[in-house]
Structure 1
Amino acid sequence: MTIIDDTVVPPCADDPMTFLDDDLETPLGRHGLTATMRREVTRKRAEAHRRCAACPIFTDCLYRAVAEVNVSGFVACTTESDRMALRRQLGITVSDTELSGLGMGRLGSGPVDHEAVVAARHAYPNDTCQQLAERLGCSTSTIKRHLRRARQEQQEKAAVQAPAAADQTPTVDDVLDAFGDLESGRRLMRAS
C-alpha cells in the first residue's frame, strides 16, 4: 500500500526563519546601512518575496493578514507597515489578538513597560526591533507587540478625532486591488 501525502506546506511554515528575519522590516533608506548590508537586505527580501508569492495559499494569507488578524513580520509579501497602509487605504482597523496566554514567559527582571518601549523607539527611531530588544533586555516579539499597541492607540485616537463611516469588511478583491498598488504588489504583477 502506498500512502500519498499531498499536503501543501507553506514556505513560511517550512522555513520560518526566512520570514521572521528583522531585515525584512528594515527600511533600505535607513542610515547606517552599508552598500553590502543593503544588497544583503535586498537579497533576503527578494528570496522571501519569491517564495511567498509562489505559495498556493497566498491570497487567503494576504486577506487574513490585512482584514482579519494583526500579525507581525513578513506575511503574504507584505511588511507590517505595508499592511497598515493597506488598512488605511481600505478604511479598516484590525485589533491585536490577545496572546498573553501563549508562548514562553520572559526570563528577564520583569515585564517591559509599554511606555519604555515607545520612549526607546522615539529615542532610537532607526533601530531595528532586534536592536531595541537588546537595549531593553527583552524579546523582539515583545517590542513588536508594544509597537503594534502604540500604533493601534494612535489609530484609535485619530479615529475619535475624525470619525469616519463604520468599518466595512473588504472583499478579497478589494484587498488584492489595494495590494496591487503597493510596491510588493507591482513586483508580483511584473513577475507573473
Structure 2
Amino acid sequence: MTIVVDKTTPPCATTPEVFHDELLHSPPARTDITAAEWEQLAVKRAAVHRQCAGCPLMIDCLYRAVVEVDVSGYAACTTEIDRQQIRHRLGIVIQQPSSVPYGAARVGGGPVSHESVMTVRHAYPKDTCHQLAERLGCSTSTVKRHLRRAREQKQDQAMQPRVSTPTLPSIDAVLDCFDELESSRVA
C-alpha cells in the first residue's frame, strides 16, 4: 500500500514578497501614477488574484483571514480593506493580542499591567507574590493588588447572569460577502 501526500504549497508561501507588495493591498490613486504604471499594477494584481483563486486553501484562508486573525497583505484574493468591509458587514471584531510580549524588559520602572501580572501568575502558579514581583520587576504590593483585582472580577462574573457568546459566521456567509466585493471579480 502506498500513501500519497499532496504537498501543494500555496502560492503565497512560495513567493511571499509578491503577496506583501504594498501596491497590491494598498494601491495608489489612479491619478497618482502614469497610465503605464496603472496598467502594470492591474496586470500584476490580476496575476496574483488568479494564483490565489486557484489555491486549494483559498476558502479556508479567506475564512481565517476574515474571522480569526487580522493578517496583513494580500490574502485570499482580498486586501486589508476588503477584509475590513466583510467584517463590518458580518459584525466581526478581531481581538488583537497584546502589543507587549511576555517577558519584555521593563525600562524606567513604569506601571505593570494587570495582564502582565496574570500572565506571570498563570505561567508560575506555585510562585509566591514576592517571586512574581521579582520576575516582573515590581513591588510585592503591586502583585497582590492585581491578584486581588482578579479575584474580585471573578466573583463579580460569577454573580452576573450568563451572556451567550457571539456566534461566528458560517463559511457561506463569508463567501457571500466576498462575492459582493468588486475585488472578487478582478481576474
Q: TM-score, normalised by structure 1?
A: 0.58
2:43 corresponds to? 43
Distance 1:55 1:92, change over 3 A: same
Distance 1:87 1:46, change over 3 A: same
CA distance, structure 2, for counterparts of residue 181 and residue 167 of structure 1: 24
2:90 corresponds to? 90
User: What is the RMSD of the two structures over their aligned residues, measured on CA atoms?
Assistant: 2.5
1:6 corresponds to? 6
Tell me the percent identity: 46
1:52 corresponds to? 52
1:172 corresponds to? 171
- Residue 26 of structure 1 aligns to which amino acid in structure 2? S
Q: Quick check: which has more Rg, 1 or 2? A: 2
- Residue 170 of structure 1 aligns to which amino acid in structure 2? P
For residue 100 of structure 1, report the CA deviation from its aligned partner. 5.5
For residue 43 of structure 1, report the CA deviation from its aligned partner. 1.4
For residue 184 of structure 1, report the CA deviation from its aligned partner. 2.4
Contact kept? 2:23, 2:41, Cα under 8 Å: yes
Gaps of at least 5 residues in structure 2 are: 102-164
Contact kept? 2:90, 2:169, Cα under 8 Å: yes
For residue 167 of structure 1, report the CA deviation from its aligned partner. 4.6
Contact kept? 1:20, 1:73, Cα under 8 Å: yes
CA distance, structure 2, for counterparts of residue 28 and residue 90 of structure 1: 27
Distance 1:99 1:41, change over 3 A: farther
Once the two structures are superposed, residues 108-163 of structure 1 have per-residue CA deviations (whole angstroms, 9 ceiling, x without a partner) of xxxxxxxxxxxxxxxxxxxxxxxxxxxxxxxxxxxxxxxxxxxxxxxxxxxxxxxx
CA distance, structure 1, for counterparts of residue 40 and residue 3 of structure 2: 41
1:112 corresponds to? none
Contact kept? 2:78, 2:183, Cα under 8 Å: yes
Residue 8 of structure 2 aligns to a residue in which SS? coil
Aligned length: 124
Gaps of at least 5 residues in structure 1 are: 102-165
For residue 172 of structure 1, report the CA deviation from its aligned partner. 0.4
